[in-house]
Amino acid sequence: MFTSPLLNNLIEFLPKVRGKYQKDEPMSKHTWFAVGGPAEILYHPADQEDLKYFLQNLPNNIPIYLLGGGSNLLVRDGGILGVVIKLDNKNFKQIEVGDGWIKCGAGLPNIDLKKILLKHELGGLEFLCSIPGVIGGSIKTNAGCFGSEIKDVMLCAEVMNGLGEISTLTPKDFNLSYRNSLFPDDWIILSMTLKTYHEPKAKIQQKLEEQKNYRIANQPYNEKTAGSTFKNPQGLKAWELIQKSGCAELQIGGAKVSEKHNNFLINTGNATAEDIEQLGEEIIARVKEHTSITLEWEIRRLGIRK
């Protein structure tokens, strides 16, 4: 039985919300790696007011974590103690389009932005459609690809802090840099407003297809993976360092290095979170030994190791 050392039967101590609580929810159902132990409680807020009420009435000794799309995350096999919050209600997926901007709810999957761009003929955000995850999760790591990053297109974001207070912040407030940001643990992104411009539908479609085809050709596709595993050291490519250090064919348990792109780790079907983490640590050690460069995890690791 998975129980918290903080409180017995944790759910009895949580605020009575309009959203939904799930006890001992396997995080393997909510992450792209499809591994990981259970969240003690997974909370799905009904809307912003429900989330605010929860935060303002939550006992201080209960830890909380925010789950985005589960794409850049490795949840360890021992699971997560406390409450994991997932903004997957439709109220966190609303879209508003204006002149030169689009406002997206934090829970909107990036891939769903594609049909909005095509419908309204909005350009400049095609790169975001190909990044796994949800809009709200894009800020913490300043997500980017194909030469663009969130900091290049972000106008502002609505943020709720641990006290349930909402403020509107700009990119400067987040201090966005390569795969990094100033992002306190108790901040929850509610929505993000992005700059855009008119672009013919055919041209948008062309960009989307080109980017999709590139990913299919050069990265693992329809595989259980969490995207790039390590950040690129300045002026270098992580995949090249991994390859040159003899790690291209490494495998531990059910986890292996992708043949298509060496900076991706793959769950071949029966991997544990421990397999994946050990594989990553082995790569870091070998690259350090061969190049004197220490790779830094880009994937967030969360929870308890068994």
Calpha distance 12→51 (Å, rounded): 17
Beta-bridged to residue 160, according to DSSP, are 166, 188
The domains of the chain are located at 10-86, 94-203, 220-302
Q: Is 149 a catalytic residue?
A: no
- Residue pair 41/3 in contact (Cβ under 8 Å)? The answer is no
Q: How high is the pLDDT of residue 184?
A: 84
pLDDT surpasses 50 at 1 = no
**Using one digit for the tens of pLDDT, what is the confidence trace for 28-61?**
999 999 999 999 999 999 999 999 999 999 999 9
Q: Is 18 a catalytic residue?
A: no
Calpha distance 262→242 (Å, rounded): 7
Res. 7 pLDDT band, cuts 50 70 90: very low
Identical topology for domains 10-86 and 220-302: no
Beta-bridged to residue 85, according to DSSP, are 43, 66
Catalytic residue among 179, 191, 199, 274: 179
What global pTM score does this model have?
0.92
Calpha distance 249→210 (Å, rounded): 29
- Residue pair 134/214 in contact (Cβ under 8 Å)? The answer is no
- Which CATH number is 94-203's, of 3.40.50.12780, 3.40.50.2300, 3.30.465.10, 3.40.50.720? 3.30.465.10
**Using one digit for the tens of pLDDT, what is the confidence trace for 126-151?**
999 989 899 999 988 889 898 899 99
**Using one digit for the tens of pLDDT, what is the confidence trace for 145-202?**
988 999 999 999 999 999 999 999 999 999 888 877 888 888 999 999 999 999 999 9
User: Which residue's entry shows tokens 């407030």?
Assistant: 173
Q: Is 286 a catalytic residue?
A: no
Q: Read off the pLDDT of each residue in 65-88 and give the average, rounded to a whole number.
A: 96
**Using one digit for the tens of pLDDT, what is the confidence trace for 261-294?**
999 999 999 999 999 999 999 999 999 999 999 9
Nearest to 211 by CA among 153, 117, 123, 126: 126
Q: Read off the pLDDT of each residue in 62-91 and give the average, rounded to a whole number.
A: 96
Q: How high is the pLDDT of residue 180?
A: 76
Q: How high is the pLDDT of residue 236?
A: 97
Q: Which CATH architecture has domain 220-302?
A: Alpha-Beta Complex (3.90)
Helix (H) or strand (E) holding 226: strand 224-228
Catalytic residue among 71, 228, 245, 277: 228
Q: How high is the pLDDT of residue 8?
A: 64
Nearest to 150 by CA among 106, 88, 215: 106
Ramachandran class of 260: left when φ > 0, alpha when ψ lies in -120 to 50, beta otherwise: alpha
Q: Which CATH architecture has domain 10-86?
A: 2-Layer Sandwich (3.30)
278's tokens: 């050990």
Calpha distance 7→51 (Å, rounded): 21
Mean of all residue pLDDT scores within the chain: 94
- Residue pair 99/57 in contact (Cβ under 8 Å)? The answer is no
